[in-house]
């Protein structure tokens, strides 16, 4: 495979980690971050939205080459490659992907010769704490950052975190990046770039906290999923403005499209219970039961109120099986 260095912009020197702020060996901790690239078939369900060639990072979390990453990099992947900081490239296979948290696991098929990083506590992080947001490539691709906020995050793709971590400034290649705390442990995995109007803070990154993967990690590794019943999935893309939830699109062939939801529909309630904001909308849907449940949505369209019932599905039913072993 091509050397990924050509696609990974360096962090300017003044923004790289200041080793004087930390009590651990920064360079050694950064060795645990690997480059991750995946190939997804053209016919995959997510190919049109997430692409067929995805790249980002992963973090080695045990001595046998288990890599934790953000799941959108590997969902439906046929092939995954991992590259250590010394340039060693090995193939990996997808061990698991959890829809609810967004975490994914990849197992290296050959030794990576990269040290594992310990899992810390994301609960300990508070706004103002010094952290490192690290991509693959050592100090030249690591960013000195701080925690700017801890709060709820609702994603337009039917995703919700009760207590997401926001950091600033923004790392330019955030997907799967390691959030390393002041003690040298892994505190989270990079998921998104957020603008100020999205986060309520300055622009930066949204980080998925490490604590929410700990309870499911053994099951995720053993079976490929969390073991929890899948949540009902509608297949909507939504936006929020002043507490209103608007359908801006639907997955082709998904439950919402099949039920007749269209872009511009305003969601005012779930099962005759009013909702304000995407978080309330998602929680209202998920409270009705597991995937497969009928979801009555109260919709305002073209001046009329109506109820459209969507037969929910499990999101994973639409995904092409990856190379999970």
| pLDDT, the chain, mean | 93
- The one-character DSSP state at 303 is T
Angle (CA) 260 155 281, round 5°: 55
Distances in Å between the Cα of 101 and the Cα atoms of 83, 191, 211, 248 are 25, 11, 10, 23
What predicted TM-score, i.e. pTM, was given to this entire model?
Answer: 0.93
CATH of 1-228, one of 1.20.1630.10, 3.40.50.880, 2.40.10.120, 3.40.50.970: 2.40.10.120
What is the mean predicted confidence (pLDDT) over 1-8?
60
Residue 181 has pLDDT above 50, yes or no: yes
Half-sphere exposure of 1 (CA within 13 A, CB side): 22
Whether 202 has a pLDDT exceeding 60, the answer reads: yes
The listed CATH number (3.40.50.720, 3.40.50.620, 3.30.565.10, 2.30.42.10) that belongs to domain 236-318: 2.30.42.10
Q: Are 187 and 179 in contact (CB under 8 A)?
A: yes
DSSP states along 242-295? TTEEEEEEE-TTSHHHHHT--TT-EEEEETTEE--HHHHHHHHHHTT-STT-EE
State pLDDT tens for residues 39-73.
999 999 999 999 999 999 999 999 999 999 999 99
Domain locations in the chain? 1-228, 236-318
Q: pLDDT tens digits, residue range 266-320? A: 999 999 999 999 999 999 999 999 999 999 999 999 999 999 999 999 999 999 8
Residue 325: pLDDT band with limits 50, 70, 90 = very low
Q: One fold for both 1-228 and 236-318?
A: no
């Amino acid at each position: 495979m091509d050397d990924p260095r050509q696609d990974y912009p360096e962090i300017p020197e003044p923004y790289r980690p200041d080793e004087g702020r930390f009590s651990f060996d920064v360079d050694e901790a950064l060795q645990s971050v690997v480059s991750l690239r995946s190939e997804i078939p053209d016919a995959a369900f997510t190919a049109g939205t997430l692409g067929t060639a995805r790249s980002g990072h992963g973090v080695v979390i045990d001595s046998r080459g288990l890599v934790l990453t953000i799941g959108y990099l590997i969902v439906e992947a046929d092939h995954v490659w991992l590259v250590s900081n010394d340039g060693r490239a090995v193939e990996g296979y997808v061990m698991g992907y959890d829809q609810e948290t967004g975490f994914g696991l990849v197992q290296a098929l050959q030794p990576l010769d990269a040290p594992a990083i310990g899992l810390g506590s994301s609960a300990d992080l508070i706004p103002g704490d010094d952290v490192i947001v690290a991509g693959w490539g050592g100090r030249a691709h690591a960013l000195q950052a701080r925690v700017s906020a801890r709060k709820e995050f609702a994603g337009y793709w039917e995703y919700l975190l009760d207590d997401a971590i926001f950091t600033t400034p923004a790392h330019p290649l955030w997907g799967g990046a390691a959030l390393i705390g002041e003690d040298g442990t892994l505190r989270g995995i990079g998921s998104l770039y957020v603008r100020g109007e999205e986060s309520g803070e300055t622009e930066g990154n949204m980080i998925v906290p490490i604590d929410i993967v700990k309870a499911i990690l053994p099951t995720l590794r053993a079976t490929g999923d969390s073991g929890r019943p899948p949540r009902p999935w509608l297949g909507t893309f939504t936006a929020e403005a002043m507490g209103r939830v608007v359908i801006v699109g639907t997955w082709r062939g998904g439950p919402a499209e099949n039920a007749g939801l269209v872009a511009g529909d305003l969601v005012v309630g779930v099962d005759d219970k009013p909702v304000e904001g995407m978080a309330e909308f998602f929680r209202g849907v998920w409270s009705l039961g597991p995937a497969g449940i009928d979801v009555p949505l109260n919709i305002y369209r073209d001046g009329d109120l109506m109820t459209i019932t969507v037969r929910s599905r499990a999101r994973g039913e639409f995904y092409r099986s990856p190379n999970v072993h």
